[in-house]
């Protein structure tokens, strides 16, 4: 859920009006003088709020839906398999941020990548809203692909709203607002989607997630005029003809390899959900390690950058361990809440999925207290 700074290469930021006040200063200069944030920030915050609403709403009920019996409208998977599917689903969402950022840089541009990503996410949720197991797996795949396009690029757009060198403090404050929008969406989503899914119908819950993403897309399109002209740029570095040929060749090899692997598993009568989740788990571990290794061995990386990269590896491992534990919230702890927790509150039954709102609620409530404590201690 963390918002990352924009570290991708970009050219000089063009000056553009940002609709601050009639006859007054415009663009980044206006924001700096007034101490206010660019108006485009509100568009990005609301878009991400609704995207997180759709994602965390669906995650709140996904493992319950997968583990529920067919008689209760679920998929009837073994509990361990349901947890594995949910875990791999979250891993793939994070992993596809790598190609999602690359596609934006070389093909679509970040702004269009966010729009297309949101549309694909909405389509995935809409598929899952259709009753029938045949729609579940394509729906999950579409949500993963769409989130890989949207998530890294909308975070980058927030950073690009603050292009001036003296905007560091405003940029940090902007990311804090953006992060609070994420958590607000994550608090509301389980309450709405969770209730509809658990108490009414699973597919109605998935449909509510689709509606949430649709609302995010509508306000993103309507609020596009608020974004500075720099967000409508073409991709940073377009592919050359030679690079396009290599991409097509690599894509073809990848498709052939995937089809061959699926064919072999099918021929061996081993094409099961458990085996697929195992393969994807291996991919989720091998690919980041390969990317880090290729970066370290790249001739474009200077010795000083290699030193920083070695230090980053330890931060990467620490973050990996943190998210490994944190994401048990949507699977193991979610089922624990349903099976081994007293869910009555003031005599009323509370859906187990509502417990998924608590971590983000704690962030919203406690963040100001920790910020005040930190400020009270003075500079470190």
Tokens 């969406």 found at? 185
Helix axes 110-128, 40-67, angle to 10 degrees: 30
User: Do the beta carbons of residue 55 and residue 94 sit within 8 Å?
Assistant: no
One digit per residue, the tens of pLDDT, for the chain of length 380 reads 443 333 333 333 333 334 333 333 444 444 444 567 778 888 899 999 999 999 999 999 999 999 999 988 899 999 999 999 999 999 999 999 999 998 988 888 888 899 999 999 999 999 999 998 889 999 999 999 999 999 999 988 888 887 665 566 778 888 888 888 899 999 999 999 999 999 999 999 999 999 999 999 998 988 877 675 556 555 677 778 888 888 888 889 889 988 988 888 888 888 888 888 998 999 999 999 998 998 888 888 888 888 999 999 999 999 999 988 888 888 899 999 889 988 888 888 889 999 999 999 998 888 888 777 766 665 55
Three-class SS of residue 349?
strand
Q: pTM of the predicted model, to two decimals?
A: 0.84
Contacts of residue 93, defined as CB under 8 A and 6 or more positions apart, other chains included, come to 55, 143, 144, 147, 148, 151
- DSSP-assigned letter for residue 6: -
Q: Rounded distance, CA 302 to CA 351, Å? A: 53
Residues forming beta bridges with residue 344, ordered by sequence position: 349
Sign of CA dihedral 25, 30, 33, 35: positive
Closest CA to 159 of 282, 303, 366, 13: 13
Alpha helices in the chain (DSSP H): 27-34, 40-67, 79-95, 97-103, 110-128, 136-160, 168-189, 195, 202-222, 241-267, 273-297, 303-326, 332-340, 358-376
Tokens 């709203």 found at? 161
Number of other CB atoms surrounding residue 95 within 10 Å = 20
Contacts of residue 128, defined as CB under 8 A and 6 or more positions apart, other chains included, come to 58, 135, 136, 139, 140, 143, 203, 206, 209, 210
């Amino acid at each position: 859920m963390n918002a990352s700074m924009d570290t991708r290469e970009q050219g000089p930021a063009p000056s553009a009006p940002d609709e601050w006040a009639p006859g007054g200063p415009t663009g980044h200069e206006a924001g700096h003088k007034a101490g206010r944030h660019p108006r485009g920030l509100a568009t990005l915050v609301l878009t991400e709020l609704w995207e997180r609403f759709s994602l965390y709403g669906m995650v709140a009920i996904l493992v319950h839906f997968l583990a529920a019996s067919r008689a209760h409208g679920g998929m009837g998977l073994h509990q361990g398999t349901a947890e594995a599917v949910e875990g791999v689903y979250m891993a793939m969402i994070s992993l596809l941020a790598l190609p999602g950022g690359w596609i934006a840089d070389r093909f679509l541009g970040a702004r269009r990548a966010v729009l297309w990503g949101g549309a694909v996410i909405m389509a995935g949720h809409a598929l899952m809203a259709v009753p029938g197991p045949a729609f579940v797996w394509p729906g999950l795949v579409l949500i993963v692909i769409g989130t890989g396009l949207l998530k890294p690029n909308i975070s980058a757009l927030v950073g690009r709203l603050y292009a001036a060198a003296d905007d560091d403090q405003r940029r940090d404050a902007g990311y804090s607002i953006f992060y609070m929008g994420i958590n607000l969406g994550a608090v509301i989503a389980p309450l709405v989607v969770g209730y509809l899914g658990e108490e009414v119908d699973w597919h109605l819950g998935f449909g509510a997630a689709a509606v949430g993403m649709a609302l995010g897309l509508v306000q993103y399109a309507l609020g596009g005029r608020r974004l500075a002209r720099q967000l409508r740029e073409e991709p940073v570095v377009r592919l050359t003809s030679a690079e396009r040929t290599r991409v097509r060749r690599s894509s073809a090899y990848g498709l052939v390899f995937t089809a061959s692997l699926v064919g072999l598993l099918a021929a061996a009568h081993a094409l099961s959900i458990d085996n697929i989740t195992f393969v994807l788990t291996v991919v989720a571990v091998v690919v980041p390690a390969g990317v880090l290794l290729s970066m370290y061995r790249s001739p474009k990386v200077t010795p000083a950058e290699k030193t920083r990269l070695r230090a980053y590896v330890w931060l990467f491992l620490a973050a990996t361990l943190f998210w490994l534990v944190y994401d048990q919230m949507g699977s193991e702890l979610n089922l624990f809440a349903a099976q081994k927790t007293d869910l009555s509150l003031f005599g009323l039954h509370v859906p187990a999925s509502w417990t998924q709102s608590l971590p983000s609620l704690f962030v919203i409530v406690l963040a100001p207290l920790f910020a005040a404590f930190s400020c009270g201690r003075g500079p470190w």
